[in-house]
Amino acid sequence: MSLLGRLNLQAIQHGWVIAAGQLTLVGVMLLVLGYLTFTKRWKWLWREWLTTVDPKRIGVMYILFAGLMGLRGLTDAAMMRAQQAVSVGGNHGFLSPDHYQQIFTAHGTIMIFFLAMGLMFGLINLVVPLQIGSRDVAFPFLNATSFWLYAMGGMLLNLSLVIGGFAATGWLAYPPLSELAYSPGVGVDYWIWGLQVAGIGSLLSGINFMVTILRMRAPGMSLMKMPMFCWSVLGSLSLIIFAFPILTATLTMLALDRTLGMHFFTSYYGGNPMMYVNLIWAWGHPEVYILILPAFGVFSEVVATFSRKPLFGYKSMVWAIWGIVLLSFLVWLHHFFTMGAGADVNAFFGIMTMAIAVPTGVKIFNWLFTMYRGRVRFATPMLWFMGFVALFTVGGVAGVIMALPPADFQLHNSLFLVAHFHTMIVGGVVFGYLAGLTYWFPKFTGFKLNERLGRYAFYCWFFGFLLAFVPLYILGLMGATRRLDHYDPSLGWHQLFIVAGIGVAVICAGVGFQVLQLIVSIRQRKQNLDTTGDPWNGRTLEWSTASPPPAYNYAVIPNVENKDAFWAMKKLKTPLPETRYESITMPKNTIMPLVIASFAFALGFGMIWHMYWLSILGLLAIISCIVIRGSADEHEYVLSAAQVRQTEEALKERYV
C-alpha cells in the first residue's frame, strides 16, 4: 500500500472538453488570486470574509459560491443539450458515452446540492435574523462551520474535474451500478464524500436556524406574527432535521460497501439495492420540499410588498406549509412505482402525492387573492412570480398525472419526467430564489439592481425555459428516455432536440443578462442608491434598519405588535421610542470554521484515494479543533454604547 493510495499521475484527466474545463477552473483561480494580490486585498479577505461569523457576510459567500456552482451546472446542461442536438445517426457528437454520463451526474448533483441549497442557505442567512428582529443567529461559530463545510464539499466535488473523474451513475448513484463491482473508479467516492461533507454542513445549519427562529424572535413576535418567509424556512428546517440524517446514514452505508466490502446494497451476499432507493428517496423527496418551501416564502413576501396589501389568508398559508411538511414524508415511493411494491402500496403513495396538490393549490390561490385589488407594481421580483405561477401550475399538473401509478409506468424515466421536475425546480425554486435575490439585493448592498436588464433576463429565462422543456414533454410522450447520448434519426426526435438546444441557448442569454446586470448595477450604483433602507415600501422588520445593515442589525431591538410589523409602524406612525443606545455583545471573528472544514476536505480526499493516513489525521485534527474551541470561552467582545451611537449616526449622515 503506497502513501498516495491509488493516486498517481494517470489520475489527471485528459481530453479536450475536460481540458477546457480544467483551464477555466485554473484560469479563474489565477485571475482571483492575481486580482487580490494586485489590489492588496489579502488582509481584507482574511478580516472581512474568511474569518467572519456574521450571517450577512456568510449569506453573501453562500450566494457567490452557489452562483459559481450554478455556472458549472449550466455549462453541463448546455453540453448535454448540444450533444443531444447533434448526436444522431452516424454522428456521435463531441462527448464520449462515459463522459456524457459523468456530465449528467455532475449536473444534477451540483444543481441540487450546491446551487439550490447554496442559494437557499444564503437567503436564510441574509434574511431570517433580520426578519425576526435578531442581532445574530443562535450559534454564529457553527453557522460559519456549516458554510465552510458546504464550500469544501463543493470544492471536493469539483476537484474530480482535474483529478480522477466523476461518478457516471446519475445524480442519486443507484446501486448496484454505484457499487465497487460496476463503478471501480473514484467517481462515486467523490460523489459520496463531497455530499457527505456538504450534507453535514446543511444538517448543522438546520439545527442552528431552528433554534434561531424558535428562540431569538424580537419581543412581541409570537409565532403567528412571524413573517411568512420565516414560517416557510421553519418548515424547511424541520424537514432538514428529519431528512438529512437519513442521507448521512445512506451515504455512510454506500461508503461502507465500497471501502470495507460490506453488503448493504450489493446484488449478492444478501444485499438489497432497492433498500438504497427507498432510503435515498426518503431523504430525496423531502429535499425537494426543503428547496421549494423557502421559495414559497419569498413569493409570500414579494407578492404582499408589490401588491401593497397584507398577505391573503395568513393562517391558511401556515397550515399549508405544515401540510406540505407532513405529506412530503409520505410520498417518497412515487419515485419508483415501477419497483413492483404492489397495487395497494402504489395506490396509497399515488393518493398521498395527489394530496400534496391541495396545500400547494391553497398557496397559489392565496397569492393570487393577495394581488386581487392590490395596486400591483410589476417590478422584476413580481415578474419572476408571474412566471413561477405559470410554470409551477403546468409542472404541478404534470406531477399529478405521474402520481397515477398506471400512467407512471409509461412515463417513468422518460424525458416527460425530466421536463416535469425541471419545471418545478427551475420554475419554482430557481425563479423563487432569483426573485428573492432581486428583492433583498438593496438590503445587503445599499443599491438596487438595474431593472431593465433584470427584465431582459427574466424574459430570456421564461421563454428559454419553455423552448427548452416543452419539447422534452413531447419527446417523453414519444418514448424518449432520459440520459441518452445518442439516438436513431428514424425516431423523429431530432427537430425537437434542436428546439430544446435553442431553448438552453436562450436561457444562457438570460444568465448573461444577469451577469451584465450585476456589473452594470455595481458601476451605476450611485443612481440606484437605497438611502432609506426601505426601497420597496416593505412590510417586514428587515426594511426598518439601514441598507446595508450594521454588523449588529439593530441598535435598538424592535418591539413587535402586529403581523407586517414595519408596515404597521409606518401606518400607525408609532412614535419612535427615544433611542437609548446600549452596549452590544458580538461574537469574535475566528478562522477555526475554515480550518475544521479544510480538515474535513482532507478526510474526504483521503477516503476517495484510499490514503487512509490522511483521513485519520483529518479526523484527529477535527476532534482537536473542537476540543480547543470548547476549552477557550472568551468568544465575544462588547461594542460599547458610544461605539453603537457613533455607527448609527454615521449611517444616518451618509446620504445627507
Residue appearing with cell numbers 450546491: 114
Taking the least distance from each CB to another protein, the nearer of 206 and 550 is 206
Nearest in space to 128 (alpha carbons), one of 593, 540, 649, 572: 540
Taking the least distance from each CB to another protein, the nearer of 228 and 255 is 255
Taking the least distance from each CB to another protein, the nearer of 256 and 516 is 256
Q: How far is the CB of 136 from another protein (least distance, A)?
A: 10
Cα(31)–Cα(42) distance, integer angstroms:
14
Q: How far is the CB of 551 from another protein (least distance, A)?
A: 15
Which residues, 6 or more positions from 4, have their beta carbon under 8 angstroms from its beta carbon?
A: 609, 611
Residue appearing with cell numbers 390561490: 365
Q: How far is the CB of 256 from another protein (least distance, A)?
A: 6
CA distances 134 to 125, 127, 129, 140, 559, Å, are 12, 10, 5, 13, 11
Taking the least distance from each CB to another protein, the nearer of 95 and 243 is 243
Cα(505)–Cα(544) distance, integer angstroms:
41
Amino acid, single-letter form, for residue 645: R
Cα(160)–Cα(483) distance, integer angstroms:
21
Taking the least distance from each CB to another protein, the nearer of 262 and 390 is 262
CA distances 487 to 180, 420, 480, 484, 500, Å, are 29, 22, 9, 7, 15
Give the per-residue SS3 of 185-251.
CCHHHHHHHHHHHHHHHHHHHHHHHHHHHHHCCCCCCCHHHCCHHHHHHHHHHHHHHHHHHHHHHHH
For the four alpha carbons of 362, 367, 370 and 373, in that order, the dihedral sign comes to negative
Q: How far is the CB of 571 from another protein (least distance, A)?
A: 32
Q: How far is the CB of 180 from another protein (least distance, A)?
A: 12
Residue 203, all three cell numbers: 444538517
| Exposure b/e, 501-530, CB count within 10 A at least 16 = b | bbbbbbbbbbbebbeebeebbeeebeebbb
Cα(187)–Cα(170) distance, integer angstroms:
11
Judged by DSSP in three states, 384 sits in helix
Q: How far is the CB of 531 from another protein (least distance, A)?
A: 32
Cα(588)–Cα(603) distance, integer angstroms:
27
Q: How far is the CB of 245 from another protein (least distance, A)?
A: 4
Nearest in space to 59 (alpha carbons), one of 293, 294, 239: 294
Q: How far is the CB of 311 from another protein (least distance, A)?
A: 28
Taking the least distance from each CB to another protein, the nearer of 246 and 391 is 246
Determine contact, residues 337/405, Cβ cutoff 8 Å: yes
Residue 610, all three cell numbers: 484510499
**Which residues make up the interface to another protein (CB under 8 A)?**
138-139, 203, 206-208, 210-211, 214-216, 241-242, 244-246, 248-250, 252-253, 256-257, 260-264, 266, 268-272, 275, 279, 582-583, 585, 623, 627, 630-631, 633, 636, 638
Q: How far is the CB of 247 from another protein (least distance, A)?
A: 9
Which residues, 6 or more positions from 96, have their beta carbon under 8 angstroms from its beta carbon?
A: 15
Q: How far is the CB of 250 from another protein (least distance, A)?
A: 7
Residue 629, all three cell numbers: 474551541
Taking the least distance from each CB to another protein, the nearer of 241 and 591 is 241
Phi, psi of 475 (to 5 degrees): -60, -40
Q: How far is the CB of 242 from another protein (least distance, A)?
A: 6
Determine contact, residues 328/239, Cβ cutoff 8 Å: yes
Residue 280, all three cell numbers: 435515498
Q: How far is the CB of 244 from another protein (least distance, A)?
A: 7
Taking the least distance from each CB to another protein, the nearer of 250 and 380 is 250
Q: How far is the CB of 208 from another protein (least distance, A)?
A: 7
Residue 243, all three cell numbers: 431528512
Q: How far is the CB of 542 from another protein (least distance, A)?
A: 21
Taking the least distance from each CB to another protein, the nearer of 32 and 623 is 623
Q: How far is the CB of 612 from another protein (least distance, A)?
A: 16
Taking the least distance from each CB to another protein, the nearer of 220 and 261 is 261
Q: How far is the CB of 213 from another protein (least distance, A)?
A: 12
Taking the least distance from each CB to another protein, the nearer of 308 and 629 is 629
Taking the least distance from each CB to another protein, the nearer of 138 and 317 is 138
Cα(315)–Cα(588) distance, integer angstroms:
39
Phi, psi of 487 (to 5 degrees): -150, 170
Cα(345)–Cα(503) distance, integer angstroms:
39
Nearest in space to 187 (alpha carbons), one of 152, 150, 161: 161
Residue appearing with cell numbers 419581543: 219
How many C-beta atoms lie closer than 10 Å to residue 27's C-beta?
10
Amino acid, single-letter form, for residue 91: N
Taking the least distance from each CB to another protein, the nearer of 216 and 404 is 216
Q: For 329-371, where are the alpha helices, taking DSSP H only?
A: 343-371
Amino acid, single-letter form, for residue 506: V
Which residues, 6 or more positions from 356, have their beta carbon under 8 angstroms from its beta carbon?
A: 324, 327, 328, 331
